[in-house]
Amino acid sequence: MYQSLLELFNDREAAESITACFQCGACTAACPLNVFNGPKLSPRQFIRRLQLGLPVNIDPYLCMMCRACESVCPRNVKVTKLIQELRKIWFKNNRTPTPLTQALWKIYEDGNPWGYPSRTRGQWLDKLDSNIVKKRSDTLLYIGCVSSYDIRLQRISTAIAKLLLKAGVDFTVLGDEERCCGDPVYHAGETDFLEELVSENMAKFNSLGIRRIVALSPHCYTMFRDIYPRYGGDYEVLHYTEYLAELIDTGKLSIDARLEARVTYHDPCYLGRYSKIYEQPRRLIESVKGLSFSEMSLSKELSLCCGGGGGRILMESKPEERPSNIRVKQAVETGAEILITSCPYCIINFEDSAKVQKTPLKIMDVAELLQAAAGGQDG
Amino acid sequence: MVEAVLVIGGGIAGVQASLDLAKAGAKVYLVEKSPVIGGRMAALDKNFPTMDCSICIEAPKLSEVMQNKNIKVLTLAEVVEVRGEAGNFHVKVVQKPRYVTDECTRCGDCVPVCPVILKNEFDVGMGARKAIYLPFDQAEPGTYVIDIENCLNKPPNYLPCNRCVEACGPKCIDFEMREKIHELNVGAIIVAAGSDLFDASLIPEFSYGRHPDILTAMELERLLQSSGPSRGEVIRPSNDKHPERVAFILCVGARDKRFYGFCSRVCCMYSIKEALQLVDHGIKDVTIFYMDIRAYGKGFDEMFERAKRSGVRFVRSRPGRVIPNGDGIDVLYEDTTSGELRKETFDMVVLSTALVPSEELSRLARTLGIEVGEDGFIKSYEIDGDFVGTSRKGIYVCGCASGPKDIPDSVTEAGAAAAKALTHLTSRSVEPEVFEETIDASGEPRVGVFICHCGSNIAGVVDIKTAVEQSKRLPYVVHVEDQKFSCSGAGTKHIENVIREKRLNRVVVAACSPKTHSPTFMRACARAGLNPYLLEMANIRNLNSWVHKNQPVDATRKALDLISMAVAKAVLQNPMTKLSTPVLQKALVIGGGVAGMTAATALAEMGFETHLVEKEHELGGLLRYFREIAPSGLDAQRLLQWKIRQLERSGAKVHLGTEVTEVTGFVGNYHVTLSNGEELDVGAIILATGGKAHEPSWPKIETDRPKVATLLRYETDGIPEDARDIVFIGCVGSRNMSRGCSRYCCQTIIYHALKLRRDGKNVSVVVKDVRTYSRGAEELYRKACEEGVRFIRVGAEKPIEELVQIGDGGITVRDITIGETLNIPADYVILATALDPPGEIAAAQQLRVAKDSEGFFLELHPKLGPVESITQGVFLAGVAQGPKDIRESISQGLAAAAKAAALLTSPQLEKEPLIPVINLQKCTKCMRCAQVCPYGAIRGELRKWIEIIPGLCQGCGACVAECNVEGAITMPGFTDEQLMAQIDAALAENPEEKAIVFACNWCSYAGADLAGILKIQYPPTCRVIRTMCSARVSQKLILHAFEKGAGAVFVTGCWPQDCHYNYANLNTKRRYEQRWLKIIQARGIDPKRLQLHWISAAEAKRFAEKMTEAHEVVMSLKKEKMQVSG
């Protein structure tokens, strides 16, 4: 174990991230995990221990990879890169938590971490009039596991598909043949299966002539954009909010929608801090007339993680230690009736917290909002 | 023939460069883009570590610039084109119109009528201004300015507003003014364009702009300013209440890869300063979040310690979140020394924002054709540029334009740039203004009194008609008239004519403050042929109409008293002429290290005969032992060879293996004897005697492994190839109880650590704080970290020897950021040893050059006089003045040369004639006067002989007040007779209802003036008598005032550390406590009637409070009397 920690220094980016740290502690103070009384995570301290060659005493699987720490770091330390490297070492040493290893088997067998049957993956498409599955197109709308199966989240999938159809753009979906992008595999710290899965996915994309991927989930989006290129992936990758905003800008899509409601918006970590996509979702929200929009006190770079990143969505957290609880409260404080976001994991966590807190706050995805405001049936 | 230099930027660096140039005979064009000069220093409340009032020490420099005939100030101006080359540049400058002519009297009548309200940039938006305005009260040029972009008359103005035009008494608002183009021919250009402040809103986690009580340090600075938007009250903008818990966050925008990688160099200290001020304002809970405290300068560590002692809490942490939480502000941070994560609620958070390069700076660089460094500041060249040269020959840079800098470093560099610029000029000249004196003042006094209305400023309160009528009855007064604006061009011309027509031989102008306006009226007298010292002013505006505006009857009575006091003094005034002493145009530099060599080279290049004396047999000083110079890695020996070659080429005469054995004489005329018997006569002396490398007695026992070497030995000998594990230890001999920071060491050890690391060694550096403040050094530190140099942090509370154990194959040390004791293997330990002061230097002792508490030479003023010693004509450079690196030593060497050049340029040294005169018939030669002289300007032998050395005397008058032999010593301009006549005039009627207030020229009188400017109201009881220093006030004057029935006597002066005469005012304190109080009590006078108070030039409010207290004393006295008689 200790030897493998030293090997961290062979990776230039990891080594520099360790040594560059000058121990200011901003990371620890920005970490959403540390607002609870539960287990704490001090990136500063574990980096200091790595610097000094002392044994590391943290659980790297606690981290939600939300990059709140990195966004305040004055020395550009890639904390999540280090956590990821630690996870790889932990995986090799069989220290990965069971829910994650189980999820890997399920992905291997069924193509999704929850073990739903792969043949029902395309059922959400039944709500669409047109058949777009495996149509010849260079643009793929990638739905992702959870939004393919979860009945609640399928509403997002259909909303996006309908909006794209309305805009008259040429695109396709994989239906039953879609498989997990590999996000949980990556975050477990496994590498061999990840390579296999990514290669298979790419082979499928390539055989269909896919050049552009529009991802529904920011997590899949990040995988395609940041991880796939390491395996030779070369796609134009867009989050659907980017794509819709572009369609509106170029006049291909017009939103003639109205909804009288007080709303706020939550920036998903993997969309905001990872990719600096802050404006497009807001522009989409603005396109709906009648809304009164107010920002939460912590927004954009400061957005608070819902708790679902870094594979945490597959693991249990104590109900009193869920960041989504705080986030829902912050949304309520703005006076909002609807908390809008653009990530299925955030929606799962927020709906859960809203239920527990018995608040009437409604949680909606941006695409759902656009659909609902336009009088869509799924609103 | 080119004799001019262009200086771009009117901040303190540009101002200082202009003054140094002008005094050395260059013509200067000072181009400033804003309407006024003064820069950021003018907006600061106090300066660290001296706690001087910033504008009070800067304002005299600003008016000096305005009055210097060699300097032409172009405000609202920008350089648009530069052609030509060093020695012959052709520069085009565009100057925007001001729309107000120089006849503006600063009455301010235009301001209330202007309907446009805007944010005041000077108050960083915390206060308001109008479209016609003056950025701040002491601004120079003092002419108001119209912000045409926001003015309702902005063309095309179909509906002119013109309210200001109608309100302007002297009719000096002119909307027809047009842009001017100046074509200048200059030999050199100095860029002093300064820097910007970082925009704190760019850092989302600090929430600037999301809560009104999250401020920048500059905003707090304005709140602390007594003339600022809150009148010096520290209030929370959200609710106008005093904060109770305040947090400072350092390095906002600096040392941050997301924004600027460099260290902004001043923020640690300005934050500590502001924290101490908050403590003074009664705020007990003040926290500073820091990563390293960079208290590298002279007296900085001491101030850091003082802050800790005053209860300021220092937390080593950078907060990760600042979150507005209703009324309060939550700060989330991890205390890195305990590992605890905390959330604390403060009611004010101050962001210490960095100094950063401005957009305009890079634009200017393009116009000038000079390079900008990676950090965005102007690039300066090391060897052939002496660190102030840019990429284009003949263009120099100083101050914050080449990286953040504090005031003394900016001022030093300004001098350095000036010294370099002077070498490009083919001609220099200083022409004194000469007037012919045609009026004989020896006969019976004929006093003319001119009473100024100052628009309605005076006339609106004081009954001018009565004042004129009453003044006519005063003795020797032959002419009285009132004027709308005495100081206007027309007003002074009229005075000039009346002097001639009515053959006046004394002039009294009853108007505003003599501090600002006597030069104007003195020139009017001189033009008329009258000795200018026969002018006296009665300050009936700042000290009267502005501060008693609701008591017109009392104010009129007081105005009469003030006029009568001025007349009484003027009548007794004799003509005086400025003193002049010959100046030998030769210089001596003592010390042949890098500072001394640089100074000698610069002076010789300017054409002065220059001697360099070095006690060793070779040149170079400490530089001889260095291989490379951090942070740039400059080859030290190449630099040394270059320096030696430059020195040889300059023609300076070098005396090696020689010491100075004796120095006699004074400024302009020193006689020097060398150890080889040679004798020299020089006008100026530069002390560049360097320092010694500290020799540690640590570790006590030598070990085989690790080997231990000092940094200096490492520099010369290196380490064996096979050494694998290397440890550097900082602060050996520095930062202990008696010594501060040695400045050069952090960057030097980090430079070497990185180099060894690149050779594949394991390198650790043990430090208290990483103080890589200088340009490029923080970037070097970051590189060292990234490439794997390990930094171990130890506490700052003990000397390093007690925190690290050396032995057993390595070192043992407790790291504060992890709280564990570490054993670090080491083959070699290198100690970063301090720079110690030089031993006793005979010449310095004979020149009475004082030393600071650490044994380095004491500078004249830590902020504005870093290279001048307290002894006039003696300048300081290099480590002799305090530890510093090569860059700073070179800079000081040049700056000292510029100062010496300024002194040596004119063959005569002019001086105000305030030199006491001894009447040898009456003097008993008791030598008491000599004992109190702060400059050693009185020589003699008890009972035998005595003499005053005018070259040394600065005119405080402490000697005169000490003398108790009637008529033995007098101070021209402030004689006993004059001061007593003022007392008599003040107390002519109802003396028991009045308080005599003695105020010193520099602080308390300035404070009184400021109270006027701020319109702080106080009772009209006091009658102020101005002296140069409170030390001039004598027992005789005090007793005279009580004998004449004064209700109270208040003596006021500078706070001792602010004293302009080398602590002369401690004499006042001693006299007051040990003598005066006893004597008056013996005479049955209630001691509360005699009080001593220190009031700084900024403490207008305090002045008003003290005047109110004086009034209360007088009132209680009156009450007691009534009870007794009743």
Q: Stretch B458-476: mean pLDDT, rounded?
A: 95
H-only helix segments in B872-991: 886-905, 928-932, 958-962, 976-986
The domains spanning A98-246 and A257-373 adopt the same CATH topology: yes
Per-residue model confidence (pLDDT) at position A179? 97
- With contacts defined as CB-CB under 8 Å, which chain A residues touch B782? 20, 22, 75
CA distances from B830 to B622, B628, B884 (A): 18, 16, 20
How does residue B487 score in pLDDT terms, banded at 50, 70 and 90?
Answer: confident
Whole-Å CA distances, B466 to B471, B564, B1019: 8, 13, 21
Q: Name the burial class of residue A329, with classes exposed (0-12), middle (13-18) and buried (19+) by CB atoms within 10 angstroms of its CB.
A: middle
* Residue B760 touches partner A, C-beta closer than 8 Å: no
Structure tokens at A223: 């995988």
Min CA distance, B785 vs chain A (Å)? 5
Residues of B in Cβ contact (< 8 Å) with A53: none
B1095-1126 burial: b if 16+ Cβ within 10 Å, else e:
bbbbbbbbbbbbbbbbbebbeebeeeeeeeee
Contact B257 A15 (CB under 8 A): no
| Coil, strand or helix at B457 | helix
Contacts of A140 (CB under 8 A, 6+ apart): A171, A172, A173, A174, A205, A208, A210, A212, A213, A214
Q: What is the pLDDT of residue B489?
A: 67
pLDDT-derived band at A376 (thresholds 50, 70, 90) equals low
Specify the pairing of strand A236-239 against strand A338-341: unpaired
Whole-model pTM: value is: 0.87
Query: Which of B256, B257, B318 is the closest to A25 by Cβ?
Result: B318
Q: Does B651 touch chain A (CB under 8 A)?
A: no
- Please report the sign of the dihedral spanned by the C-alpha atoms of residue B599, residue B605, residue B606, residue B607: positive
* CATH level 2 (architecture), domain A2-92: Orthogonal Bundle (1.10)
Q: Which residues of B touch A26 (CB under 8 A)?
A: 205, 317-320, 333-334
Q: Which residues of A touch B823 (CB under 8 A)?
A: none
Taking residues B212-223, what's their average pLDDT? 96
Q: Which of B319, B339, B820 sits opposite A26 (nearest CB)?
A: B319
Is pLDDT above 90 for B1003?
no
Q: pLDDT per residue over B77-100, tens digit each?
A: 999 999 999 999 999 999 999 999
- CB contact A30 to B (< 8 Å): yes
Which residues from A are below 8 Å from B793, CB to CB?
23
Q: How far apart are CA B727 and CA B829, in angstroms?
A: 5
| Pair B163, B325: CB distance under 8 Å | no
- Contact status of A40 with chain B (Cβ, < 8 Å): yes
Find, in chain B, the residue whose alpha carbon is nearest to that of A301: B204
Question: How confident is the model over B155-179, as a mean pLDDT?
Answer: 90
Mean pLDDT of A331-346: 97
Among the partner residues A40, A76, A301, nearest to B204 by beta-carbon distance = A301
User: How far is residue B453 from each of residues A58, B460, B468, B469, B485, measured CA to CA in Å?
Assistant: 79, 8, 11, 15, 6
CATH topology of domain B1-95+179-195+358-431: FAD/NAD(P)-binding domain (3.50.50)
Which token pair is B74? 């172009």
Would you kindly state where each structural domain of chain A is located, as residue ranges? 2-92, 98-246, 257-373
Q: Span B197-356: which CATH code?
A: 3.50.50.60
Residue B497: pLDDT above 60?
yes
Q: Of A25, A52, A73, which has the smallest distance from its Cβ to B333's Cβ?
A: A25
| Partner B contacted by A20 (CB < 8 A) | yes
- Look at the alpha carbons of A95, A97, A101, A104 in this order and tell me if their dihedral is positive or negative: negative
CA dist A257 to A247, A250, A370, B284, Å? 16, 18, 7, 56
DSSP state of B1097: T
For domain B447-574, give the fold. Answer: Rossmann fold (3.40.50)
Q: Kindly state the average pLDDT of the residues A187-205.
A: 97
d(C-alpha B531, C-alpha A296), whole Å: 73
In this complex, do B785 and A19 lie within 8 Å of one another by their Cβ atoms?
yes
Q: What is the rounded average pLDDT of the residues B232-236?
A: 91
Cα A61 to chain center, whole Å?
16
Token pair 């032995």 is found at B807
| CB-CB under 8 Å, B822 with A15 | no
CATH architecture of the region B707-836: 3-Layer(bba) Sandwich (3.50)
Mean pLDDT for chain B overall: 93
pLDDT at A377 over 50: no
Interface of B with A in 259-298 (CB under 8 A): 291
Interchain pair A52, B210: CB under 8 A? no
Q: How far apart, in whole angstroms, are the C-alpha atoms of residue B795 and residue B653? A: 49
Chain A residues closer than 8 Å to B256 by CB = 74
The string of pLDDT tens digits covering residues B621-651 is 999 999 999 999 999 999 999 999 999 999 9
Contact A300 B204 (CB under 8 A): yes
C-alpha distance across the termini of chain B, in Å: 83
Of B205, B317, B321, the CB nearest to A24: B317
CB contact under 8 A, B334 and A30: no
**A13 to chain B, closest Cα gap in Å:** 10
B205 vs A72: CB contact, 8 Å cut-off? yes
Give A20's contacts in chain B (Cβ within 8 Å).
782, 785-786
pLDDT tens digits for range B566-623: 999 999 999 999 888 899 999 999 999 999 999 999 999 999 999 999 999 999 999 9
CB atoms within 10 A of CB B1062: 17
Residue B454: its pLDDT value, please?
83
Model ipTM? 0.94
Helix (H), strand (E) at residue B567: helix B552-571
> How close, in Å, is residue A75 to chain B by CA atoms?
5
Percentage of chain B with pLDDT > 90?
Answer: 80
Does the structure show a pLDDT above 80 at B325?
yes
Say yes or no to pLDDT of B1126 above 70: no
What is the structure's pLDDT at A378? 43
With an 8 Å Cβ cutoff, are A29 and B257 in contact?
no
Q: For B837, which DSSP code?
A: P
B974-1125 domain in CATH 3.30.310?
no
Q: Which CATH architecture has domain B582-691+842-910?
A: 3-Layer(bba) Sandwich (3.50)
CB–CB of B818 and A300 under 8 A?
Answer: no
Amino acid in position A68: A
| Domain spans of chain B, in order of start | 1-95+179-195+358-431, 97-177, 197-356, 447-574, 582-691+842-910, 707-836, 974-1125
- Asked whether the predicted pLDDT for residue A340 surpasses 50, the reply is yes
Cβ–Cβ gap A298/B335 under 8 Å? no
Confidence of residue B18 (pLDDT cuts 50, 70, 90): very high
Contact B818 A52 (CB under 8 A): yes
CB contact under 8 A, A48 and B257: no
Q: Compare CB distances from A28 to B210, B257, B320 and report the shortest one's residue.
A: B320
Dihedral, CA of residue B951, residue B953, residue B954 and residue B960, to nearest 10: -160
Q: What is the DSSP string of B279-328?
A: HHTT--EEEEEES-----STTHHHHHHHHHHTT-EEEE---SEEEEETTE
Q: Do B205 and A20 touch (CB under 8 A)?
A: no
pLDDT at position B170, please?
87
pLDDT of B400 above 90: yes
**Nearest CB partner across the interface for B205, out of A22, A54, A302:** A302
Q: How far apart are CA B106 and CA B172, in angstroms?
A: 11
> Which CATH code for domain A98-246?
3.40.50
Q: Is B204 on the interface with A (CB under 8 A)?
A: yes
pLDDT, mean of residues A351-362 = 95
| Percentage of residues in chain B having pLDDT higher than 70 | 100
- Section A137-166 average pLDDT: 96
How do residues B1049-1069 score in pLDDT, each as one tens digit? 999 999 887 788 888 999 999
How far is Cα B386 from Cα B226, in angstroms, rounded to an integer? 40
Q: Which helix (H) or strand (E) holds B846?
A: helix B842-846
Is A42 near chain B, with CB under 8 Å? yes
Is A26 within 8 Å of B258 when comparing Cβ atoms? no
Q: Is B178 helix (H, G, I), strand (E, B) or coil?
A: coil
**Coil, strand, or helix at residue B1099?**
coil
Contact A302 B321 (CB under 8 A): yes
CA B588 to chain centre: 27
Q: Distance, in angstroms, between B782 CA and closest chain A CA?
A: 7
Q: What pLDDT does residue B155 have?
A: 83
Tell me if domain B197-356 and domain B582-691+842-910 are identical in fold.
yes
CB < 8 Å to B317, chain A: 24-26, 29
Per-residue model confidence (pLDDT) at position B159: 83
- What are the tens digits of pLDDT across the range B729-738? 999 999 998 8
**pLDDT value, residue B188:** 97
Which of chain B's residues have a Cβ under 8 Å away from the Cβ of A72? 205, 318, 320-321
Q: Is B782 on the interface with A (CB under 8 A)?
A: yes
Which long-range contacts does A328-334 make (Cβ < 8 Å, 24+ apart)?
A: A328/A353, A328/A354, A328/A357, A328/A359, A328/A361, A329/A357, A330/A296, A330/A297, A330/A298, A330/A304, A331/A264, A331/A266, A331/A296, A331/A361, A332/A359, A332/A361, A333/A296, A333/A297, A334/A262, A334/A264, A334/A294, A334/A295, A334/A296
Residues 98-117 of A with CB under 8 A from B: none
Interface contact A27-B320, CB threshold 8 A: yes
**Alpha-carbon torsion, ordered B32, B37, B38, B42, to 10 deg:** -120
Question: Is residue B130 left, alpha or beta, with left meaning phi > 0 and alpha meaning psi from -120 to 50?
Answer: beta
Give the pLDDT confidence of B898-921 residue by residue, as tens digits. Answer: 999 999 998 888 888 999 999 999
**8 A C-beta contact, residue A306 and residue A346:** yes
| Ramachandran quadrant class, A61 (left: phi over 0; alpha: psi -120 to 50; beta: rest) | alpha
Buried b / exposed e over B751-765, threshold 16 CB at 10 Å, is bbbbbbbeeebbbbb
**Contact residues, A window 66-85, toward B, CB-based 8 Å cutoff:** 68-69, 71-76
Shortest Cα distance, chain A CAs vs residue B781, angstroms: 10
How confident is the model over B380-404, as a mean pLDDT? 93
Q: pLDDT tens for residues B852-882?
A: 889 999 888 888 889 998 788 999 999 999 9
Gyration radius from chain A CA atoms: 21
> Is B412's pLDDT higher than 50?
yes
Query: Which residues of chain A are within 8 Å of residue B204 when distances are taken between CB atoms?
Result: 300-302
- Strand (E) or helix (H) holding B665: strand B660-666
Strand residues in B704-849 grouped as ranges (E): 707-710, 725-732, 762-767, 790-793, 804-807, 810-815, 820-825, 828-833, 835-836
Query: How far apart, in whole angstroms, are the C-alpha atoms of residue A120 and residue A355?
Result: 28
What is the domain class of A257-373 according to CATH? alpha beta
Model confidence pLDDT, tens digit, residues A24-36:
999 999 999 987 7
Measured in angstroms, the CA of B336 and the nearest CA of chain A are apart by: 6
Flag the least confident range among A37-51, B53-67, B214-228. Answer: B53-67
Instruction: Specify the CATH class of B97-177 in words.
Output: alpha beta
DSSP, residue by residue, B786-819: HTT-EEEE--SSS-GGGTEEEETTEEEEEETTTT
Query: How much is the pLDDT for A4?
Result: 75
Give the Cα separation of B403 and B417 in Å (integer): 15
B191, B368 in Cβ contact below 8 A?
yes
Please give the pLDDT value at position A1.
63
